[in-house]
C-alpha cells in the first residue's frame, strides 16, 4: 500500500535528520549551496564522528591532522559552526586562521551560505541580528556570535561558549542542546612559515597567552584543524605540553596498507609522485608525520648532471637482509673523484624478481665491476646474477662479493658529507627513482628511519670507489 505524506511531515523527518546527523546536515546544505553532491569518503565520516562527540560534550580538546584540499574547512569549520547555530542559536564561536582574510572569508560563507540560506532558515530560523552587518563579527537574532580573526589578531573582550553555571561545571553537557559554541582554529600557520622558529614560537605563544583563555566555560571545546608542518608547530606544542588532554584524529593520505585516503581526490600514483618530488613536505603535509629539515642527514642538495661523463663503470649492491628491507643496487661512472649515478634498482621484492632486474641493469649500463655485500645471502645473490649475466651474453661484468664488518650507522654518519659532495645524481633522479629519492632525501640523522638501505649503499659507493682517491695510503 502506497502511503503519501504531507510536506509538513516530510519536513519534520528532514529536520530530525538534519539535527541528529551532522554528516547528513553537511551533505544536505552543500547540495543547497553548490548544487552538487558532497562526495563522502571514510575520512569524512571519521571527522564527522569526532565533531559530533564535540557537539555532545564527549570531547573538549580535538586535533584533526589532514592534508589540504581534503574537505577539512568545509566540514570542520563552515558546516560545523552552522550546525552549532542550528542546535543553539545563542552559540558563541571564535574562528581563527593564519590570515585575517581567510578567517573572515569563512565567517562570511557561514553567514551567507548557511544562516541566510532560505533552506537553512526554513528548518532552523536562526536569522541575523538586523544591526549585524560586519563580516568579521556578526550576531544571530538570539545573541549568538561568530568572531573571525587571524592568529595574531585582536580578541580582547570576546569569549567562546556560554558562561559556566554550577551544573555544567560538575556534570558537563547533559544533551546536544547544551552545546554553546567553540574555538575553531583552522591552519594557524602558513606552510612557508613553518620552518621559521620565531614565527612558529609566536603562534604557539599566542595560543598560550590569549586563545586558550578565550573560553567562557571549562566545557567550551577547542578544535585545531591543520596539516602538520613541523615537529614544533602548534599541534606539536600542544601534544608536547598537554598530550593527555587532546584527542587526535590523524589522517595520512596513504594508510598503513598502502591505500590512498581519498582516491577521488588523489590516487596512489599521484601521491607517490608527490612524495618523490619532496619527501619532507610530503611526510609533513600529506602523511601528518612532521620531519625537521634540520634533522635531515642529506636533504635535497645533491649535485646533478645532464651528460654522462667517460670513466670506469661500477656497481655497488646491498641485498635485502630482511623481508622489509630494500635491495639497493647503484650503477655509476667514476670520473675525477666523483661517482655519477647511472641507474638504481631499489626494490623490496624477493630475490627471484630482483636478480633478473639487477642483471639487466648491469648489462644495459655496461658495468665492468659489481661489488656485492656478501652478508645475509649476498654471496648467493652474487653467484646467481653472475650466472644470469653469462646466460644473456654479458661477459664484461666481473663480480666481487665482500663481507661488510663495520658498523652501519657509524659508516653512514661519518661519510655523509662526502656522499653529498662526491656522488652526482641524474637531473631527473626524483622522477626516475622515486622511492630511492624519497628514502635518501628524507633520511634522518637520528637514524630513526624505516629504511636505511639507500643511505648504506651510497656510503658503500663512496667507500669502495672514491675514498681511496682522497685517503691513499
For cell 551532522, name the residue: 22
Confidence of residue 457 (pLDDT cuts 50, 70, 90): very high
pLDDT of 174 reads 47
Provide the grid cell at 404: 661488510
C-alpha cell at 247: 584527542
pLDDT for 363-375, tens place per residue? 999 999 999 998 7
- Taking only the tens place, the pLDDT of each residue in 393-403 is 999 999 999 98
Residue 51, pLDDT above cutoff 80: yes
How much of the chain, in percent, has pLDDT values that exceed 70?
Answer: 94
CATH pick for 7-286 out of 2.40.30.10, 3.40.50.300, 1.10.3720.10, 3.30.360.10: 3.40.50.300
Span of 57-66, 108-117, 189-198 with lowest mean pLDDT: 189-198
Q: Going by DSSP bridges, is the β-strand pair 137-139/183-186 parallel, antiparallel, or unpaired?
A: unpaired
Give this prediction's pTM.
0.68
- The reported pLDDT for the residue numbered 206 is 95
CA angle 53, 56, 59 (to 5 degrees): 45
β-bridge mates for residue 39, sequence order: none
Among residues of the chain, what percentage have pLDDT more than 90?
72
Confidence of residue 176 (pLDDT cuts 50, 70, 90): very low
Structural domain boundaries in the chain:
7-286, 304-470
Dist CA 86 CA 74 (whole Å): 16
Least confident of 89-93, 117-121, 360-364, 445-449: 445-449
pLDDT tens per residue across span 292-341: 666 788 877 799 999 999 999 999 999 987 667 899 999 999 999 999 99
Greater confidence (232 vs 4) lies with: 232
Average pLDDT estimate for 148-154: 92
Residue 16 has pLDDT above 60, yes or no: yes
pLDDT at 171 over 60: no
Encode 300-333: b = buried (16+ Cβ within 10 Å), e = exposed: eebeeeeeeeeeebbbbbbbbeeeebbbbbbbbb
67: left (phi > 0), else alpha (psi -120 to 50), else beta?
Answer: beta
- pLDDT of 249 above 60: yes
Residue 218 confidence (pLDDT) above 60: yes
pLDDT-derived band of residue 7, with 50, 70 and 90 as boundaries? confident
With cut-offs at 50, 70 and 90, classify the pLDDT of residue 448: confident
Query: Using an 8 Å Cβ cutoff, are 215 and 222 in contact?
Result: yes
CATH number of this structure's domain 304-470 = 3.30.420.280
- What pLDDT score does 470 carry? 45
Q: What is the mean pLDDT of the chain?
A: 90
Phi, then psi, of 131 in degrees rounded to 5: -85, 0
What average pLDDT does this structure show over 265-294? 85
Helix axis angle for 197-209 and 234-242, nearest 10°, is 50
Average pLDDT over residues 206-224: 94
- Predicted pLDDT of residue 195: 80
Amino acid at each position: 500500500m502506497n502511503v503519501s505524506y504531507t510536506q509538513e511531515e516530510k519536513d519534520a523527518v528532514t529536520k530530525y535528520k538534519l539535527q541528529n546527523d551532522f554528516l547528513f546536515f553537511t551533505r544536505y546544505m552543500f547540495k543547497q549551496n553548490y548544487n552538487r553532491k558532497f562526495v563522502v569518503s571514510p575520512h569524512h565520516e571519521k571527522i564527522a564522528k569526532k565533531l559530533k562527540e564535540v557537539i555532545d560534550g564527549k570531547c573538549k580538546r580535538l586535533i584533526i591532522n589532514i592534508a589540504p584540499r581534503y574537505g577539512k574547512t568545509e566540514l570542520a569549520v563552515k558546516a560545523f559552526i552552522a550546525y552549532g547555530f542550528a542546535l543553539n542559536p545563542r552559540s558563541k564561536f571564535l574562528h581563527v586562521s593564519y590570515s585575517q582574510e581567510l578567517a573572515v572569508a569563512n565567517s562570511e560563507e557561514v553567514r551567507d551560505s548557511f544562516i541566510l540560506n532560505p533552506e537553512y532558515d526554513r528548518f532552523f530560523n536562526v536569522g541575523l541580528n538586523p544591526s549585524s552587518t560586519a563580516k568579521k563579527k556578526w550576531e544571530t537574532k538570539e545573541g549568538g556570535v561568530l568572531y573571525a580573526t587571524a592568529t595574531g589578531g585582536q580578541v580582547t573582550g570576546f569569549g567562546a561558549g556560554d558562561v559556566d553555571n554550577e551544573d555544567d561545571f560538575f556534570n558537563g553537557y547533559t544533551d546536544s542542546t547544551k552545546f554553546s559554541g567553540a574555538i575553531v582554529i583552522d591552519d594557524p600557520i602558513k606552510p612557508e612559515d613553518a620552518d621559521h622558529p620565531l614565527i612558529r614560537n609566536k603562534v604557539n605563544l599566542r595560543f598560550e597567552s590569549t586563545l586558550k583563555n578565550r573560553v567562557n566555560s571549562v566545557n567550551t571545546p577547542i578544535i585545531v584543524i591543520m596539516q602538520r608542518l613541523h615537529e614544533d608547530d602548534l599541534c606539536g606544542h600542544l601534544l608536547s605540553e598537554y598530550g593527555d588532554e587532546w584527542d587526535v584524529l590523524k589522517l595520512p593520505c596513504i594508510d598503513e596498507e598502502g591505500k590512498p585516503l581519498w582516491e577521488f581526490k588523489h590516487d596512489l600514483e599521484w601521491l607517490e609522485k608527490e612524495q618523490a618530488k619532496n619527501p619532507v613536505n610530503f611526510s609533513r603535509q600529506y602523511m601528518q608525520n612532521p620531519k625537521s629539515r634540520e634533522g635531515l642527514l642529506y636533504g635535497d642538495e645533491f649535485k646533478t648532471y645532464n651528460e654522462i661523463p667517460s670513466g670506469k663503470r661500477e656497481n655497488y649492491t646491498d641485498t635485502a637482509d630482511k623481508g622489509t628491507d630494500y635491495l639497493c643496487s647503484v650503477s655509476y661512472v667514476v670520473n675525477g673523484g666523483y661517482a655519477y649515478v647511472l641507474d638504481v634498482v631499489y626494490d623490496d621484492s624477493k630475490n627471484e624478481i630482483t636478480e633478473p632486474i639487477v642483471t639487466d641493469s648491469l648489462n644495459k649500463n655496461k658495468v665492468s665491476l659489481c661489488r656485492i655485500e656478501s652478508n645475509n645471502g649476498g654471496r648467493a645473490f652474487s653467484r646467481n646474477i653472475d650466472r644470469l649475466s653469462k646466460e644473456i651474453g654479458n661477459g664484461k661484468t666481473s663480480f666481487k662479493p665482500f663481507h661488510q664488518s663495520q658498523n652501519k650507522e657509524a659508516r653512514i654518519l661519518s661519510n655523509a658529507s662526502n656522499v653529498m659532495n662526491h656522488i652526482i645524481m641524474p637531473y631527473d633522479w626524483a622522477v626516475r627513482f622515486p622511492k630511492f629519492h624519497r628514502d635518501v632525501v628524507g633520511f634522518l640523522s637520528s637514524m630513526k628511519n624505516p629504511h636505511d638501505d639507500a643511505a648504506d649503499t651510497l656510503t658503500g659507493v663512496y667507500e669502495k670507489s672514491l675514498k681511496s682517491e682522497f685517503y691513499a695510503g
